[in-house]
């Protein structure tokens, strides 16, 4: 039995090994990809309610936003959320989200 030494490349393999990766999500406003836990999840519940989901576990179609007031403004203003959630946002939804966003971030309303 010939002993053969197979050179093993140092460092981590390019693929194959399932490293513990943080789940990534894209902000619907600025389109940047960030660790899911850094983002705020918004959800359209099966009842059609649009709400902030701090736990990230509510059922329904979700969309993610950075914790940046600019992104919330953008999402609310340009109706990106309606698109992402496949649901038309009513004025009440928008107001509700703005209020919840402000509770989370401080200031969301455009100056």
Which residues form the interface with Zn ion (CB under 5 A)? Answer: 27, 29-30, 66, 71
Task: Give the torsion sign (CA, 34, 36, 40, 43).
Answer: positive
Nearer to Zn ion by C-beta: 59 or 108? Answer: 108
Q: Is 55 exposed, middle or buried (0-12, 13-18, 19+ CB in 10 A)?
A: exposed
Nearest approach in angstroms of CB 18 to Zn ion is 28
Nearest approach in angstroms of CB 33 to Zn ion is 10
Is 50 within 8 Å of 93 (Cβ atoms)?
A: yes
Nearest approach in angstroms of CB 74 to Zn ion is 7
Edge-to-edge strand list for the sheet holding 61-65: 50-53, 40-44, 61-65
Count of alpha carbons within 13 angstroms of residue 52, beta-carbon side: 19
Nearer to Zn ion by C-beta: 46 or 70? Answer: 70
Nearest approach in angstroms of CB 31 to Zn ion is 7
Nearer to Zn ion by C-beta: 40 or 89? Answer: 40
Nearer to Zn ion by C-beta: 67 or 94? Answer: 67
């Amino acid at each position: 039995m010939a002993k053969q030494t197979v050179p093993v490349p140092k460092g981590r393999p390019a693929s194959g090994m399932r490293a513990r990766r943080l789940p990534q999500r894209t902000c619907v406003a600025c389109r940047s990809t960030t660790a899911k836990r850094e983002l705020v999840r918004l959800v359209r519940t099966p009842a059609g309610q649009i709400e902030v989901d701090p736990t990230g576990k509510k059922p329904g179609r979700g969309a993610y936003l950075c914790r940046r007031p600019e992104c919330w403004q953008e999402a609310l203003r340009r109706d990106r959320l309606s698109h992402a959630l496949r649901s038309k946002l009513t004025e009440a939804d928008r107001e509700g989200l703005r209020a919840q966003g402000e509770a989370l971030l401080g200031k969301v309303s455009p100056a």
